[in-house]
Structure 1
Amino acid sequence: MTALTRLESRPAHEHPIGGAGCIKQIYQQLLLSDDAQQRHVLAQRFLQTQLQRAADLPDELPQDLSALQDFVEQHSLAVARQYADYLQQRKEGGPRQFFSNKAHALFFLQAVAPTKLVDGAWLYGLLRHWRDPRFEGLICTYLEELGEGNPAQNHVVIYRKLLAEHGLQDCAAIPDERYLQGAVQLALGESGDECLPEVIGYNLGYEQLPLHLLISAYELSELGIDPYYFTLHVTIDNASTGHAQKAVQSVLQLLPLEGDREAFLRRVALGYRLNDLGQGSRAIIESFDLYAEVLDMLERKRPFGQHMHSDYCRFEGKTVNQWLSTPEQLPGFLAALENKGWIKRHQDPQASRFWQLIDGDGAAMFGVFSPYEKQLLHDWIAGDWVPERSTATPRGSANGAVETSVPVNDPDIQSLNSALAGVGAHEQMQVLIPWLSAHRHSHPAGLFATRRFIELKSRLR
């Protein structure tokens, strides 16, 4: 079992490292703080803790460097065989293996958002080595994560668009531990000098193609959700010419010629194991409980709705406001709606009066629930009901709707242009690099800076 396979199947509870909100707070400080020194100190402290945890995990990298390329290729071949088996099972009429319904898929997309929204961040700290050809593969990988400045290819832009399309921007519902991998990536990006071997190792592990990426893309498309973010990674992470191959080459190119090579490789292996920390994709998928998610969603909305309903309508002797007065009553409230016939489980949701109140332009509660919240309610009401004909329209992978124009009057672009004016090419690179950070690169000025960085890098070789 490879490290990435084990990551996919790991249980949902893994080594808490602080109180409630601790990891999310670290994540946000590493992403948003303008104090570079503060970010650096925090990153070092956080990484020390995570590396200690990773040291307790099995080391699966081959000891012989000459076997590294074969190790990666064998992993890729194993994933291909497993995916072929999956496709054959589906062809024979087997059910989806990941997502029981659309709400399940949207739950997954939101749960992994903290990691996807800092995609590639672990490589940010290496940009200052742009003149060193040994770093070419790693820097090329990072720039491709940034879409080389094209918003239609920038991974964070694509994922933000996907979240917005399905009303998944509310991060309040994301548990603290699901920020761990994103925080690790941000911390590595702040520690490129001190933790170069660990960055190389983490990159080697992360850029191998996992099986869950292929299955996710297939099943998202079936459910009418654009899979482009996932299919894009399938193509660029390949072990032949893609990021996985570049990751192997980077280990060989940056290995010291006369220094302590064994110590360097031990640190590479430790960085590789950082990928195993936190919840894996499969564990997140398997943790989904539709009824529990419906109750959690209603509890988040309950404080805003408990005083907003009239006393006209009563269920089992209680007004809606009374039912919403405490979270303990929410299961009983749903049961009362069923008993009253307002919710008809395991039928077309359109037959339920409650659904008619929240869906449609003329609905009395139009706009109260986000698209994701409505999907939770829809799929819970529908239960084991299956429509005669699926209304989901499979999405293509062109992702052509991403806006590609750059705002001419964007104040950040104007400010950046002013900073670049009259400055030599080498000095411009130093001005541009901060705009390629995880927090900035997906914004218009960051996209502009990425294109300019690539242009100057090519010219100054």
Structure 2
Amino acid sequence: MQLHKELYYKLQHLEAHHSVLPQARDVLISLFSETLEQACKAPNTGILSIEQYSRDALLEFQQREDNKVMDLWEQYLARRRAKGPREMFSTREEAKWWLLQSSPVKYVDGAWLGHINKITTPFGLRRVVKNAWQVLSEELGDGDLEKNHVYLYRQLMETVEPGFPAGDDIDFIDPRHGLNEYGVWKAAIAQLLISLFPHQFLPEIIGFNMHYEAMALETLKVSKELKELGYDPYYFVLHISIDNADSGHTAIALETAMEYLELIQKRDGDAAAKHTWKRIQVGYILSKGLPTAPVCPKFRTLNTVLPTEREIFPRNSLEAEVIRIFKAKALVSQKIHCNSKIKFGGRTITEWLIPNGLESQQHQIQFLDALSNAEPWIFKGDSDKSRLMKELSWQGRMFGSFTQSEVLAVKRWIDSLGGTGFVSDPAYYWSFINESEISSNKAFKSLDIRVHHPVFSQLPANNILAQLLPSTTHLPRASRIETTVPANWERFFPLWFTHPCLLEHFICIPAQTTTPMACSIIRVLRAQSGFGPEDSMVAGMDEVRRKESIGLVELGLEMVKFSGSMEPTCLKDVLETWKSDFGLLMLHLCQRPIENTGLLLGLAMAFVDLHDAVALSPILLSNDSRRLLHDIAKRERDNLDLCLQELESTPPRFLDFCRGYHLGRAEIDRCFL
């Protein structure tokens, strides 16, 4: 399990650990395969029941899913009114345990969308991706710290366990905290992984979002039971209200998926739409197949079987093989263990191995669950440490009772419970979507920073910039840009279309958005993407329906049309038509927001000057577009000024801001010489 924790940490610190990217992609595809293999055992249920996509079929499916949750909630309330016990945790101490164990997944709330809406997104997909990104924006409070979901959970943790570390802190993964719920770590890693390669796996991201934003029964139960035990339930209450299926995240996620599929069908045809639907199903199944809620030990009784376990078991071929092995051994060894006093899961070995006992699916589930939690016999993810493996090996009391292949299967099963943990055959995913496998080695050989994400340059930013940065130590604002002079389009367009990248990477990791500066950056990005001004209320579907949703890219396309040039379809088109070393430099710099914080913010401020100038020019944009750009620039400047105030207390970063601003202005001014 510690390897899971290390991956969790590295994925939140890619600047220092970008060598993990090939492994990350392998793990993601393995998780796709694992959850698909499980779901495909019941191909006529769940999202797989919609073999042929249609808007009506998907809407009806989602309504049925919502109704199921509401029916279960109604039944739960009836049990509680009849004096039934709490079902998530019995005591305040159990609630504390549950909240702490849930923290790995709560601290990455929104991460499944963290890397989307990049400037490298094809322009034709911007509306779809923008709608999905709105969910992320609202998860991050639309730039209001008090509404940021991760911040709210951290506030709750301060009441539960004062001094508990933040999710991106190296201390968070220290074993002393006892965060050992493997399923929670696995779900958290999946959320960090799914959006990491947004241009490779956009359909899967959209599908994941569609399931994850639907109402969950556990959220309803937890909000009620926490209040009963004296904990603030607001984090969970917020998710009940903001995820509603009428105007909230459920509705946005569903509309995003439907718009995307209809765009693909119109642009690429029915076969492409069918293929895209299969991939959306993959993402949906990944979310559904990795439950995020831990189960308190008290509720892990031998008769407790999760609904998903009842429906589909064994969950993968490895689990099936382990069951086969133990069934075979039980037939010949049951009475051999009569003298053994060893117990796990409340039963002796003899009781577990009763004749024909393992023929029952429920008994199989209970047996594997109990055995997997039976330390020191099984240490999840660590077969070398597990006593069972020692007993099966030379000089162990069970040596020779299992064949070599059987011992290897048990070893792989133990390791799959934690640690390396991701053992599913990636071929299952590729077969399901009917594509030839693309290995990670191949995928990472030919990355183009104009197209792909993420791409880390080999040279540190300081080396790249050594000959470019001005040696200024102060920030006198440069004179107003004179746009009355016709723009040099060859310089102007690559700068215009590339510079929205500058702040994109600051908010990819939810745990790193819980500062005033990060909130200001969120508000800048919202303005640049064409979102409406922030309000005390949540926009929800109002934003999706808003007609005047125009951002910097759309304004750039209007200016391209004005210039008489051919309209680009993506950033690569722009940078192939109008070469720009400075545009490429910005793309490399933005990949490292921690290292280049001041520099990137200074560059962004320089481009606000450009936005102001273009908004004032009567020759580049229509009057309506000039007004929109003026409003965007004002929102940008107001929030970047807040960032600057914070940087002024950190001299090295303030210096970088000054240098970035002057560097940007010098390049911009060359467009109007």
Normalised by the length of structure 1, the TM-score is 0.63
Instruction: Give the aligned partner of residue 121 of structure 1.
Output: 111
Q: CA deviation at 1:278?
A: 4.3
Return the letter of the residue paired with 2:207: G
1:56 partner letter: E
Q: 2:245 — aligned with what?
A: 239
Shift of 1:282: 5.8
Aligned: 1:147 with 2:219: no
8 A Cα contact 2:140 2:148, kept in partner = yes
Question: Mean Cα displacement is larger for which, 74-83 or 127-136?
Answer: 127-136
Q: Which residue of 27, 45, 54 maps to 1:46?
A: 27
Q: Which amino acid aligns with 2:186?
A: L
| Equivalence for 2:503 | 432
Q: Summarize the Cα distance change of 1:286–1:55 in structure 2 as closer, same or farther, 3 Å threshold.
A: farther
Q: 1:191, 1:427 → 2: CA distance?
A: 19
- Residue by residue over 1:88-132, the C-alpha shift from the partner in whole angstroms, topping out at 9 and shown as x without a partner, is 332333322221100111111111111110111111221216862
Query: Higher relative contact order by CA 8 Å / sep ≥ 6: 1 or 2?
Result: 1
* CA deviation after TM superposition for structure 1 residue 427, in Å: 5.4
Q: Does the CA contact (< 8 Å) of 2:102 and 2:292 recur in 1?
A: no
Q: Secondary structure at 1:140's aligned position in 2?
A: helix
Shift of 1:43: 2.4
1:201, 1:272 within 8 Å by CA — same for their partners in 2? yes
Match of 1:447 among 519, 527, 534: 519
Partner secondary structure for residue 57 of structure 1: helix
Contact persistence 1:212–1:282 (CA under 8 A):
no
Residue 425 and residue 143 in structure 1: after superposition, are their counterparts in 2 closer, same or farther (change >3 A)? farther
Q: Structure 2 CA distance, aligned partners of 1:273 and 1:81?
A: 22
C-alpha change, 1:425 and 1:445, in structure 2 (3 Å) is farther
Cα deviation for residue 86 of structure 1 reads 2.1
**Alpha-carbon separation, structure 1, partners of 2:291 and 2:529:** 37
Corresponding residue to 2:232 among 226, 236, 242:
226
TM-superposed deviation, 1:245: 1.3
CA distance in 1 between partners of 2:115 and 2:89 (Å): 36
Which stretches in structure 2 are left out of the alignment for 5+ residues?
Answer: 166-171, 302-375, 377-473, 482-494, 531-549, 555-673
Give me the whole-angstrom Cα distance separating, in 1, the residues matched to 2:2 and 2:18: 22
| Candidates 179, 183, 200, aligned match of 1:174 | 179
- Pairwise CA distance, 1:49: 1.3
Structure 1 residue aligned with 2:630:
none
The residue type paired with residue 30 of structure 1 is L
Q: Considering only CA atoms, is the larger Rg found in Structure 1 or Structure 2?
A: 2
Q: Quote the sequence identity (%).
A: 25
Secondary structure at 2:526 match in 1: helix
Counterparts of 2:496 and 2:102, CA distance in 1? 39
AA at the equivalent of 2:276 = F
1:280 Cα offset (Å): 4.4
Could you tell me which amino acid in structure 2 is paired with residue 180 of structure 1? K
User: Once superposed, what is the RMSD of the aligned Cα atoms?
Assistant: 2.9
Task: Report the alpha carbon displacement of residue 426 of structure 1 after superposing the two structures with TM.
Answer: 5.8
Matches within 5 A, 1:254-333: 254-255=260-261, 256-257=264-265, 258=268, 260-278=272-290, 280-281=292-293, 283=295
- Provide the rounded CA distance (Å) in 1 between the counterparts of 2:2 and 2:17: 22
Separation in structure 2 between the aligned mates of residue 264 and residue 77 of structure 1, nearest angstrom: 27
Alignment partner, residue 71 of structure 2:
81
Partner of residue 128 from structure 2, selected from 113, 128, 134: 134
**Distance of 2:274 and 2:529 partners within structure 1:** 33
Cα deviation 1:32-60 (Å, max 9, x = unaligned): 23147435333212112111212202252
**5 Å matches for 1:329-408?**
none
**Partner residue in 1 for 2:537:** none
So what's the TM-score if we normalise by structure 2? 0.44
Work out the CA distance in 2 between the residues paired with 1:244 and 1:54: 22
**SS in structure 1 of the partner of residue 15 of structure 2:** coil
Looking at structure 2, the residues matched to 68 and 285 of structure 1 have their Cα atoms a distance apart, in angstroms, of 37
Mapped to 2, the partners of 1:456 and 1:137 lie a distance apart of 14
CA distance in 2, matches of 1:176, 1:78: 27
Opposite residue 173 of structure 1, the aligned amino acid is G
Contact residue 506 and residue 521 of structure 2 kept, 8 A: yes
Q: Distance in 2 between matches of 1:160 and 1:69?
A: 35
Partner of 1:21: 2
Shift of 1:78: 2.2
Classify the secondary structure of the residue corresponding to 2:72: helix
Contact 2:69 2:217 in 1 (8 A): yes
In structure 2, give the amino acid aligned to 1:234.
I
Aligned partners of 2:244 and 2:497: how far apart in 1? 33
The Cα offsets for residues 426-452 of structure 1, whole Å up to 9 and x where unpaired, read as 655322211112142222321111111
Residue of structure 2 aligned with 1:163, choices 157, 160, 164: 157
- Is contact 2:111–2:192 with CA below 8 Å preserved after alignment? yes
Aligned position for 1:456: 528
Q: CA shift at 1:27, angstroms? A: 0.9
For residues 20 and 206 of structure 2, the distance between their equivalents in structure 1, rounded to whole angstroms, comes to 21
How do 1:89-100 residues align onto structure 2 when only pairs under 5 Å count?
89-100=79-90
How many angstroms does 1:176 deviate by?
6.1
After superposition, what is the alpha-carbon deviation per residue over 1:329-382, rounded to whole angstroms, capped at 9, x for unaligned? Answer: xxxxxxxxxxxxxxxxxxxxxxxxxxxxxxxxxxxxxxxxxxxxxxxxxxxxxx
Distance 1:150 1:90 in 2: 36
Tell me, which stretches of 5 or more residues in structure 1 are unaligned? 1-19, 290-327, 329-417
> Which residue does the alignment assign to 1:309?
none
For residues 287 and 298 of structure 2, what CA distance do their matches in structure 1 show?
Answer: 19
